[in-house]
């Protein structure tokens, strides 16, 4: 059971074998989105929140390349700014999760004993409540805004990184090169940073890639429900909020942000999938 | 063997109690000590004196530990307090919103389980074929697309283009009959089931392939057991254990998904209640819902682990 939790969703064992192109495309798409997210303030775009109420749900045109939404806002500008908001939010969560999960996981796997028992119990408790429900609770109590919620999400995801790191550390800790390091008199700090960290990097990155996709999904979920990124600011989630009414007249307004969000999550899953296949030992 | 499973059940249930207490205690502190229920009840225009008065009359000026122990004592006896917004007792509210969610989750889970077994065994017995590769690609896609977006696509295709199903809403089967009720539930259940089905199919496929490599399969084949016999009597049973465990772990995903899907299809279920309670800062309702959610997840993990234990003779010991 622990093993299944540790790797998140089960990974394929051969479905994508040999599809090197797929992985390259996935990586390319994620990198393009990241580049756009960073560059978006410097791009010649319209104001994403300005409403043109005489020009709502306009179709594709030279002025609005992807048309406008139900309030006459430029869809392309909102899409790019929304991608930026969503990606940065997800990266915040992952940064916190790694900062908490990685050191505890390495320590637990390296020292074992009570450190592992104590941190493991805490991880079990955190994993009992689904992330979305916990974020809703935090919103009810604190009204903390999206940054606060993403930091909370990071804490909620920390056990998932912790478990992978711990499992990998236990595996690597018995390998001869680590023994050699210990016998040649390296300090514990040096062993952890220079010997262990490179050994567990690949599997940890796989988990990070998968969790980044999950963070995007959760940000979209809470923003869609109206308790995440605050309206009128664009995120991939807020763009979908209340969009059901638009499905009949202008499905484009829903389907374009939905496609970008799904492609991003798909790409991150594909990267995670194939890396784990390549790195799987035994 | 039955006594062994019962003993395991009792042990695991006992082990879950501290987890439940810690989860509810953390939520309680967050909602009632860091959040401010008195301010919510008193309203936005209340003076600090009025808020203090409300705080005293609700017993919220006592130490938070005493408050939590009171809550816990009442909760064990089935009393979760009353809504802060005069919506009646929390238990009545939950009872009122629970049936649509139960029905939706049951339909989605049943569909996902049946479909994943059928498709998983079809591709797992012959890995690498065109059907396997095709379904594999669909599965990767089905896991990536968030279920509320699947809901939008289903509405677009099946209710706006083909006009086969309504685009949202919920009808009580006791009032309008099952045929109409199911018509309203088909699209939401399908959007909820897709992601679950893909995860379960991949798990079942992977464990089938692993089991087919076992020595006992070669032995069974050599002594002349038919391919169907090998599958049903030997492989499928062993391969089911990890798949059952994954179903248990997916219950959390199911709860999250139901919340979002209910919002897309305007279904008055637990997800809707949660959202209303969160937006209205109705702390007793939120507290009870988190407790309920943790309880359901722990129970699901317990039940699926016991089924896995029953399926796998090796983990039963020699009894």
Test B245 with A1 for CB contact under 8 angstroms.
yes
Test B146 with A266 for CB contact under 8 angstroms.
no
Is the per-residue pLDDT at B146 higher than 80? yes
State the pLDDT at residue B313.
Answer: 66
pTM of this structure: 0.84
pLDDT (tens digit per residue) in B223-237: 988 888 888 888 888
User: Which residue has tokens 């990124």?
Assistant: A229
User: Which residue has tokens 């800790």?
Assistant: A173
A173 touches chain B (CB under 8 A): no
B positions 229-258 inside 8 Å of A (CB): 242, 245-246, 249, 252-253, 255-256
Any idea what DSSP says for residue A243? G
Test A221 with B156 for CB contact under 8 angstroms.
no
Which of A63-77, A104-118, A252-266, B151-165 comes out lowest in average pLDDT?
A: A63-77
A266 touches chain B (CB under 8 A): yes
Is the per-residue pLDDT at B168 higher than 70? yes
Q: Please tell me which of the candidates B152, B156, B209 has its beta carbon nearest to residue A13.
A: B209
| Contact status, residue A234 vs residue A81, Cβ threshold 8 Å | yes
| Contact status, residue A231 vs residue A30, Cβ threshold 8 Å | no
How near does any CA of chain B get to the CA of A195, in Å? Answer: 33
User: Which residue has tokens 């959760």?
Assistant: A218
Which chain A positions have a beta carbon within 8 Å of B279's beta carbon? 226-227
Is the per-residue pLDDT at A258 higher than 50? yes
Test A133 with B30 for CB contact under 8 angstroms.
no
Share of chain B above pLDDT 70, in %: 97
Any idea what DSSP says for residue A45? -
| Contact status, residue A136 vs residue A218, Cβ threshold 8 Å | no
Is the per-residue pLDDT at B161 higher than 80? yes
Residues B262-271: what's their mean pLDDT? 92
Which chain A positions have a beta carbon within 8 Å of B132's beta carbon? 15
Q: Residue ranges of the domains in chain A? A: 71-281
| Contact status, residue B235 vs residue B213, Cβ threshold 8 Å | no
Test B34 with A227 for CB contact under 8 angstroms.
no
Q: Which among B144, B145, B263 is positioned nearest to A225, based on CA atoms? A: B263
Q: Which CATH number fits domain B100-270+292-317: 3.40.50.150, 3.20.20.370, 1.10.3720.10, 3.40.50.720?
A: 1.10.3720.10
Q: What is the 3-state secondary structure (H, E, C) of B221-252?
A: HHCCCCHHHHHHHHHHHHHHHHHHHHHHHCHH
Q: At what angle do helices A197-224 and A251-279 cross, to 10 degrees?
A: 160
Mean residue pLDDT across chain B: 87
pLDDT (tens digit per residue) in A229-248: 887 888 888 888 866 677 87
Alpha-helical runs (H) found in A127-250? 131-142, 145-173, 176-183, 188-190, 197-224
Q: Which of the four pLDDT bands, split at 50, 70 and 90, describes residue B209? A: confident
Q: What number of CA atoms fall less than 13 Å from residue B313's CA on the CB side?
A: 4
Instruction: Please state the ipTM of this predicted complex.
Output: 0.84
Please tell us whether the domain made up of A71-281 is placed in CATH 1.10.3720.10. yes
pLDDT (tens digit per residue) in B291-305: 999 999 999 988 888
Q: At what angle do helices B270-279 and B90-124 cross, to 10 degrees?
A: 130
Helix (H) or strand (E) segment spanning residue B296: helix B283-311
pLDDT (tens digit per residue) in B36-95: 888 888 887 888 888 888 888 888 888 889 999 999 999 999 899 889 887 889 999 999
State the pLDDT at residue B1.
Answer: 67
Is the per-residue pLDDT at B288 higher than 90? yes
| Contact status, residue B304 vs residue B252, Cβ threshold 8 Å | no
A139 touches chain B (CB under 8 A): yes
| Contact status, residue A197 vs residue A36, Cβ threshold 8 Å | no
């Amino acid at each position: 059971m622990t093993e299944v939790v540790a790797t998140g969703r089960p990974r394929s064992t051969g479905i994508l074998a040999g599809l090197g192109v797929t992985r390259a495309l996935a990586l390319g798409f994620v990198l393009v989105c990241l580049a756009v997210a960073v560059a978006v303030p410097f791009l010649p775009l319209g104001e994403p929140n300005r409403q043109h109420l005489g020009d709502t749900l306009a179709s594709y045109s030279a002025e609005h390349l992807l048309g406008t939404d139900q309030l006459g806002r430029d869809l392309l500008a909102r899409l790019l700014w929304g991608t930026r908001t969503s990606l940065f939010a997800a990266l915040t969560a992952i940064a916190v999760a790694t900062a908490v999960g990685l050191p505890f996981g390495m320590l637990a796997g390296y020292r074992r004993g009570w450190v592992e028992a104590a941190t493991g119990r805490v991880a079990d408790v955190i994993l009992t409540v689904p992330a979305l429900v916990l974020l809703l609770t935090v919103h009810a109590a604190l009204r903390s805004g999206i940054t606060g919620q993403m930091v909370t999400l990071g804490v909620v995801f920390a056990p998932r990184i912790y478990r992978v790191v711990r499992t990998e550390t236990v595996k690597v800790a018995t390998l001869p090169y680590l023994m050699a390091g210990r016998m040649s008199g390296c300090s514990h700090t040096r062993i952890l940073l220079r010997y262990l960290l490179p050994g567990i990097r690949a599997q940890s990155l796989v988990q990070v890639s998968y969790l980044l996709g999950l963070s995007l999904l959760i940000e979209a979920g809470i923003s869609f429900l109206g308790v995440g990124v605050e309206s009128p600011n664009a995120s991939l989630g807020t763009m979908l909020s209340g969009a059901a009414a638009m499905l009949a007249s202008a499905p484009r307004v829903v389907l374009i942000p939905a496609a970008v969000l799904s492609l991003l999550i798909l790409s991150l899953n594909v990267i995670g999938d194939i890396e784990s296949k390549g790195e799987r030992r035994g | 063997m039955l006594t062994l499973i019962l003993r395991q059940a009792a042990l695991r249930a006992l082990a879950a109690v501290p987890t439940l207490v810690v989860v509810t205690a953390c939520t309680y502190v967050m909602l009632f000590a860091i959040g401010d229920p008195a301010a919510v009840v008193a309203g936005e225009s209340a003076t600090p004196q009025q808020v203090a008065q409300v705080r005293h009359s609700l017993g919220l000026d006592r130490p938070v530990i005493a408050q939590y122990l009171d809550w816990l004592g009442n909760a064990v006896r089935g009393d979760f307090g009353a809504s802060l917004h005069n919506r009646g007792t929390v238990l009545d509210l939950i009872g009122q919103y629970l049936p649509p969610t139960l029905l939706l989750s049951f339909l989605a889970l049943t569909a996902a389980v049946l479909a994943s077994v059928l498709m998983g065994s079809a591709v797992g017995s012959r890995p690498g074929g065109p059907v396997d590769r095709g379904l594999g690609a669909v599965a990767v896609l089905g896991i990536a697309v968030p279920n509320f977006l699947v809901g939008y696509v289903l509405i677009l295709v099946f209710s706006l283009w083909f006009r086969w199903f309504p685009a949202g809403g919920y009808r009580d089967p006791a009032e309008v009959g099952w045929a109409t009720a199911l018509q309203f539930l088909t699209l939401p259940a399908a959007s909820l089931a897709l992601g679950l089905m893909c995860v379960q199919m991949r798990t079942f496929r992977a464990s089938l392939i692993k089991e087919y490599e076992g020595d006992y399969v070669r032995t069974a084949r050599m002594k002349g057991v038919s391919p169907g016999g090998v599958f049903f009597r030997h492989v499928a049973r062993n391969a089911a254990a990890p798949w059952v465990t994954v179903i248990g772990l997916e219950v959390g995903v199911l709860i999250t998904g139901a919340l979002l899907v209910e919002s897309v299809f305007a279904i008055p279920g637990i997800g809707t209640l949660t959202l209303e309670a969160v937006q209205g800062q109705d702390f007793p309702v939120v507290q009870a819902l988190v407790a309920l959610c943790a309880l359901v997840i722990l129970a699901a993990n317990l039940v699926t682990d016991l089924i896995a234990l029953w399926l796998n003779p090796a983990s039963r010991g020699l009894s």
